[in-house]
Structure 1
């Protein structure tokens, strides 16, 4: 049986319908009948689901747009293989127009006021390091298991680091600052080279060239730390301000760019966040005694799982599992535990 190839008009109709449903399902007056009709449309073809999910991604990054009081519906489950359907840039244009109608304003007014982006990109690196070029010409290197989105507004360029680690070489543009959101904090530059590492709510920023502003609370008007080359800032959720320190000449924070994880005589409490970044299930520590044990060495980032299983051969520890199935590192007692 021959697969039907969608015409340009049919594809446009699906894109328009996805934009319509994105607007209606975010509206406070959306009815149960409309939600049922949406679900029938969504399930009718894999491309319907794919286009709607693309709309939700772009709606989500448009953080300055006002949202209705009622909660937005959860994204429907993925259907089909997104890679089969190239995302059209028309998607962004339709969403911009949809959001503008919801304001309501003309789409061009949304761009002029800085509410609606004119470019959106999404990148992931899974099992390989990846280098990408953003729409503005900025170069980004992504570590394993990293994901980010980029949106270009009239007066600002914005990146959201969703997980992992990235090294940025930002194209200089003093009229359009470049902002990276990582956890609850923000990093702002106009043109520079810097690295952002994130695990759960922990973030570390290392500056190589230029200057950056860092805040731990998302507001770049208060409690801002200014970094110069050779400095780093660290924060986690709830911190009043980032902790700033000078890095050493042999700092290994960028070793990941060559596929290496360097642990420089660290206590396990500090090493585990660096290790867990590469694992699907995090390793836990049994107690404070275990947390104080130190570890060093240079490891292949692709083989971090093997590092965990080999720990009892290089440290006075043994491994167990907790009730969730996560590996737990325990310090070796004076007498071995009974089986």
Structure 2
């Protein structure tokens, strides 16, 4: 059978011709689109070979899954080369320029890139992107535009940011990505099994379809606590250990884990809702490294509380404190830990080991 082409099999040049008419019918302005659709119908009727070519071209175009809108946006990008060609085609009295541009698109699709780079390009284009940051003593509530369309009452994911937090949110057609630089964020994720949400931190990636959980990153260990649902935590390999693979941990309601230096601690059962108690005006620490606890407290203070040694930062603190009562915390610290409190002239406070 080598070298033999079955009768009626669509040839690539005919497919490209059909694609040119399909693309023009989908993308050309005004009457030109109607004329292209009529021309496609007439061209299709000329022979069985033409009909087969149209069928194959239509399958390639439909395989893009709605990419026409994405291509339009791509063509209309300011300064884009394709936009310039399209503009020239509309303004020019000669149809040759528009035909040349459309044939270029058809050739691109006809090369098979529709099943490769074309589709890859489509899925890699973000639907939306936004950055959210909070200042000292500032909290922020964000609702994402990621609710499933057609589900009545289905709202988007809700994010609560604690003070001094920073994230970037990028929504794609097949996934949702939150790049968390620092701080504390509580996630109430809108379920969408076809578009999981990933929270990317400096030490782990958290994958979720629909659940409520909190991520804390104040510079020390990263803490993840799940209120309900299920999240999967992929721990990043330890820096400097090339070729190693990080652990994957499944967390369920009431589970909490700390991650540091490429290693996850033991999964513990805890009051995970307490991780986001700052939403109600409380800071709750449960065996938290003092350095992390101070970072959380300082996110509400214009003058920080600082320690003079890593040994102090490593001390563990448990307790419940008002976010606006750091003075009460400083009064309590010497009774809880072997520390003394030393106010400084600039308004900051130093913690010294006893």
TM-score above 0.5: yes
- Aligned to 1:253, the other structure's residue is in SS state helix
Is it true that 1:199 corresponds to 2:218 in the alignment? yes
In 1, Cα distance between equivalents of 2:75 and 2:203? 26
Q: Does structure 2 conserve the Cα–Cα contact (< 8 Å) formed by 1:112 and 1:154?
A: no
Alignment of 1:1-339 (within 5 A): 97=77, 109=118, 112-126=121-135, 127-136=137-146, 137-200=156-219, 202-217=221-236, 223-236=247-260, 238-239=261-262, 241-249=263-271, 252-264=274-286, 268=290, 271-279=293-301, 283-287=305-309, 290=312, 297-304=319-326, 306-307=327-328, 310=331, 314=335, 316-319=339-342, 327-332=349-354
In 2, Cα distance between equivalents of 1:292 and 1:186? 25
Q: Structure 1 residues 111 and 134, CA, compared in 2 at 3 Å: closer, same or farther?
A: farther
In 2, Cα distance between equivalents of 1:204 and 1:99? 45
- Aligned to 2:195, the other structure's residue is in SS state coil
Q: Structure 1 residues 327 and 175, CA, compared in 2 at 3 Å: closer, same or farther?
A: same
- Aligned to 1:114, the other structure's residue is in SS state helix
After superposition, the CA RMSD in angstroms is 4.1
Runs of 4+ with >3 A deviation = 93-101, 108-113, 263-297, 306-316, 324-328
In 2, Cα distance between equivalents of 1:206 and 1:100? 45
In 2, Cα distance between equivalents of 1:95 and 1:261? 50
Q: Does structure 1 conserve the Cα–Cα contact (< 8 Å) formed by 2:205 and 2:236?
A: yes
Instruction: Give CA deviations for 1:254-293 in whole Å, capped at 9, x if unaligned.
Output: 2112111124576745643543454567644335775687
User: What's the CA shift for 1:195?
Assistant: 0.7
Q: Does structure 2 conserve the Cα–Cα contact (< 8 Å) formed by 1:100 and 1:110?
A: no
In 2, Cα distance between equivalents of 1:177 and 1:250? 22
Q: Which has the higher helix share?
A: 2
Moved more, 310-319 or 139-148: 310-319
Q: Does structure 2 conserve the Cα–Cα contact (< 8 Å) formed by 1:284 and 1:326?
A: yes
In 1, Cα distance between equivalents of 2:270 and 2:200? 26
In 2, Cα distance between equivalents of 1:149 and 1:100? 26
- Computing the radius of gyration from Cα coordinates, the structure with the larger value is 2
User: What's the CA shift for 1:243?
Assistant: 2.2
Instruction: Give CA deviations for 1:156-184 in whole Å, capped at 9, x if unaligned.
Output: 11011222111111111111110011223
Please list every run of 5 or more consecutive structure 2 residues that lacks an aligned counterpart in the other structure. 1-72, 82-104, 109-116, 147-155, 239-244
Please list every run of 5 or more consecutive structure 1 residues that lacks an aligned counterpart in the other structure. 1-92, 333-339
What TM-score do you get using the length of structure 2 for normalisation?
A: 0.53
